[in-house]
Structure 1
Amino acid sequence: MRNAVTPEVLELVIRGDYKDPFTVLGMHREKGKLIVRALLPQAVSVAVVDSSTGKKISPMQRWGVTALFVAEIAGKKELFPYRLEIDWGDHVQVMEDPYRFPPVLGDIDVWLLSEGTHHRPYEKLGAHPIGMEGVQGVSFAVWAPNARRVSVVGDFNGWDGRRHVMRFRHECGVWEMFIPHVMPGDFYKYEILTPDGKIQLKADPYAFRSQLRPDTASVVHWLPPLIASDQKRKNANALDAPVSIYEVHLGSWRLPQDGRRWLSYRELAEQLIPYVRSLAFTHIELMPVNEHPLDDSWGYQPTGLYAPTARFGTPEDFRYFVQTAHDNGIGVILDWVPAHFPADAHGLVRFDGTALYEYADPKEGIHQDWGSVIYNYSRTEVSNYLVGNALYWIERYGVDGLRVDAVASMLYRDYSRAPGQWVPNKYGGRENLEAIAFLRKMNEIVGVERPEAVTMAEESTSFPSVSRPVWDGGLGFHYKWNLGWMHDTLAYMHEDPVHRKWHHDKMRFGLMYAYFENFILPLSHDEVVHCKGSLIGKMPGDEWQRFANLRAYYGFMWGFPGKKLLFMGGEFGQYNEWNSNGSLDWNLLQYPLHAGIQRVIRDLNTVYRDFPPLYKRDFDPDGFEWIIHDDLDSSVFSFIRKDENGRFVIVMSNFTPVPRYGYRFGVPEAGWYREIINTDAVIYGGSGIHNNELLAQPIPCNGYDWSVEVTAPPLATCMLVKKEE
Structure 2
Amino acid sequence: MSKPNDFATVSELPCGMLSNDELNQILEARHGDPFHALGMHTAADGALWVRCFLPGAQSVEVINGTDKRLRGKLGKRHEAGFFEGPLKATDRFHYRLRVTWHDGQQAIIEDPYRFPPVLGEKDVWWLAEGTHLRPYEILGARVRELDGVIGTSFAVWAPNASRVAVLGDFNFWDNRRHPMRLRRECGVWELFLPEVPEGARYKFEVRAANGHVLPLKADPYALQSELRPSTASVVSHLPDYVPATEERRRANAHDAPVSIYEVHLGSWRRKNGHEWLNWDELAESLIPYAQDMGFTHIELLPVSEHPFDGSWGYQTIGLFAPTARFGDPAGFTRFVERCHIAGLGLILDWVPAHFPTDAHGLANFDGTHLYEYADPREGFHQDWNTLIYNFGRTEVRNFLVGNALYWLERYGVDGLRVDAVASMLYRDYSRKDGEWVPNQYGGRENLEAIAFLKRMNEVVGAERPQAITAAEESTSYPAVSRPTFDGGLGFHYKWNMGWMNDTLRYMARDPIHRKYHHNELSFGLMYAFSEHFVLPISHDEVVHGKGSMLKKMPGDRWQQFANLRAYYGFMWGHPGKKLLFMGCEFAQNDEWNADRSLDWHLLEHGPEADMHRGVQRLVRDLNHFMRHPALHQRDFDGNGFEWIEHSNAENSIASFIRHGADGSMVVVVCNFTPTPHNGMRIGVPRLGRYVERINTDSAYYGGSNVGTPFSATYAEHNGVSGKAHSIVVNVPPLATVMFEWQG
Q: TM-score, normalised by structure 2?
A: 0.95
Match for 2:422 among 398, 401, 408?
408
- State whether residues 290 and 298 of structure 2, in contact with CA within 8 Å, keep that contact through their aligned partners in structure 1: yes
- State whether residues 629 and 662 of structure 2, in contact with CA within 8 Å, keep that contact through their aligned partners in structure 1: no
Is 1:173 the counterpart of 2:180 in the alignment?
A: no
CA distance, structure 1, for counterparts of residue 78 and residue 629 of structure 2: 82
* 1:105-504 superposed matches below 5 A: 105-200=119-214, 201-257=216-272, 261-504=275-518
CA distance, structure 2, for counterparts of residue 178 and residue 686 of structure 1: 68
The letter of the residue matching 2:726 is S
Q: What secondary structure does 1:721 align onto?
A: strand
CA distance, structure 1, for counterparts of residue 35 and residue 412 of structure 2: 40
The letter of the residue matching 1:605 is N
Q: What secondary structure does 1:533 align onto?
A: coil
* Alignment partner, residue 84 of structure 1: 97
1:88 Cα offset (Å): 3.2
* Alignment partner, residue 19 of structure 1: 32
* Alignment partner, residue 688 of structure 2: 671
CA distance, structure 1, for counterparts of residue 629 and residue 678 of structure 2: 30
Following TM superposition, the consecutive aligned residue runs of length 4 or more in structure 1 with deviations greater than 6 angstroms are none
| Cα displacement string for residues 409-463 of structure 1 (whole angstroms, at most 9, x for unaligned residues) | 0000111111101111111111000000000000000000000000000000011
1:15 Cα offset (Å): 2.6
| Cα displacement string for residues 179-227 of structure 1 (whole angstroms, at most 9, x for unaligned residues) | 0010000001111111121222100000000000000000001100000
Q: What secondary structure does 1:653 align onto?
A: strand
Match for 1:49 among 44, 58, 63?
63
1:662 Cα offset (Å): 2.0
Q: Does 208-217 or 188-197 show the bigger shift?
A: 188-197
Q: What secondary structure does 2:370 align onto?
A: coil
Name the Cα RMSD after superposition: 1.3
Q: Does 633-642 or 50-59 show the bigger shift?
A: 50-59
* Alignment partner, residue 712 of structure 1: 731
Match for 2:542 among 498, 512, 528?
528
1:21 Cα offset (Å): 1.3
CA distance, structure 1, for counterparts of residue 546 and residue 106 of structure 2: 64
Q: Does 574-583 or 671-680 show the bigger shift?
A: 671-680
Is 1:600 the counterpart of 2:600 in the alignment?
A: no
Is 1:32 the counterpart of 2:38 in the alignment?
A: no
The letter of the residue matching 1:14 is L
The letter of the residue matching 2:239 is P
1:515 Cα offset (Å): 1.1
1:699 Cα offset (Å): 1.1
The letter of the residue matching 2:95 is Y
CA distance, structure 2, for counterparts of residue 437 and residue 274 of structure 1: 40
| Cα displacement string for residues 690-721 of structure 1 (whole angstroms, at most 9, x for unaligned residues) | 11321211112000121112111011100012
1:651 Cα offset (Å): 0.4
* Alignment partner, residue 618 of structure 1: 635
| Cα displacement string for residues 603-662 of structure 1 (whole angstroms, at most 9, x for unaligned residues) | 0001101x1111111111111111011111111100011122322111000001110112
- State whether residues 303 and 348 of structure 2, in contact with CA within 8 Å, keep that contact through their aligned partners in structure 1: yes
Q: What secondary structure does 2:639 align onto?
A: helix
The letter of the residue matching 1:369 is D
1:66 Cα offset (Å): 4.8
Q: Does 637-646 or 580-589 show the bigger shift?
A: 637-646
Is 1:59 the counterpart of 2:73 in the alignment?
A: yes
Match for 2:574 among 560, 568, 580?
560
The letter of the residue matching 1:715 is L
- State whether residues 629 and 661 of structure 2, in contact with CA within 8 Å, keep that contact through their aligned partners in structure 1: no
1:47 Cα offset (Å): 2.2
Match for 1:657 among 674, 687, 692?
674
1:44 Cα offset (Å): 3.0
Q: What secondary structure does 2:444 align onto?
A: coil
CA distance, structure 2, for counterparts of residue 700 and residue 686 of structure 1: 30
In structure 2, the gaps of 5 or more residues are 1-15
Q: What secondary structure does 1:251 align onto?
A: helix
Is 1:632 the counterpart of 2:655 in the alignment?
A: no
In structure 1, the gaps of 5 or more residues are none
The letter of the residue matching 1:710 is V
CA distance, structure 1, for counterparts of residue 107 and residue 443 of structure 2: 63
CA distance, structure 1, for counterparts of residue 455 and residue 522 of structure 2: 35
CA distance, structure 2, for counterparts of residue 65 and residue 573 of structure 1: 71
Q: TM-score, normalised by structure 1?
A: 0.98
1:7 Cα offset (Å): 3.2
CA distance, structure 2, for counterparts of residue 161 and residue 175 of structure 1: 15
CA distance, structure 1, for counterparts of residue 565 and residue 161 of structure 2: 59
CA distance, structure 1, for counterparts of residue 434 and residue 645 of structure 2: 49
The letter of the residue matching 2:292 is S
| Cα displacement string for residues 566-585 of structure 1 (whole angstroms, at most 9, x for unaligned residues) | 00000000101001010000
Q: What secondary structure does 2:386 align onto?
A: coil
Q: What secondary structure does 1:601 align onto?
A: helix
- Aligned residue pairs total 719
Q: Does 118-127 or 657-666 show the bigger shift?
A: 657-666
CA distance, structure 1, for counterparts of residue 78 and residue 678 of structure 2: 102
1:723 Cα offset (Å): 2.3
Is 1:722 the counterpart of 2:741 in the alignment?
A: yes
The letter of the residue matching 2:479 is S
1:68 Cα offset (Å): 2.0
CA distance, structure 2, for counterparts of residue 582 and residue 668 of structure 1: 51
Q: What secondary structure does 1:448 align onto?
A: helix
The letter of the residue matching 1:570 is C
* Alignment partner, residue 85 of structure 2: 71
1:46 Cα offset (Å): 2.2
Q: Does 550-559 or 154-163 show the bigger shift?
A: 154-163
Q: Does 447-456 or 14-23 show the bigger shift?
A: 14-23
1:64 Cα offset (Å): 4.5
The letter of the residue matching 2:659 is K
CA distance, structure 1, for counterparts of residue 470 and residue 241 of structure 2: 23
The letter of the residue matching 1:246 is Y
Q: What secondary structure does 1:574 align onto?
A: coil
CA distance, structure 1, for counterparts of residue 545 and residue 406 of structure 2: 36
| Cα displacement string for residues 448-494 of structure 1 (whole angstroms, at most 9, x for unaligned residues) | 00000000000000111100000011000000000010011001000
CA distance, structure 1, for counterparts of residue 239 and residue 254 of structure 2: 29
- State whether residues 17 and 84 of structure 2, in contact with CA within 8 Å, keep that contact through their aligned partners in structure 1: no
CA distance, structure 2, for counterparts of residue 375 and residue 394 of structure 1: 21
- State whether residues 305 and 313 of structure 2, in contact with CA within 8 Å, keep that contact through their aligned partners in structure 1: yes
Q: Does 452-461 or 57-66 show the bigger shift?
A: 57-66
CA distance, structure 1, for counterparts of residue 561 and residue 699 of structure 2: 12
Q: What secondary structure does 2:267 align onto?
A: coil
The letter of the residue matching 2:638 is P
- State whether residues 684 and 719 of structure 2, in contact with CA within 8 Å, keep that contact through their aligned partners in structure 1: no
- State whether residues 689 and 715 of structure 2, in contact with CA within 8 Å, keep that contact through their aligned partners in structure 1: yes
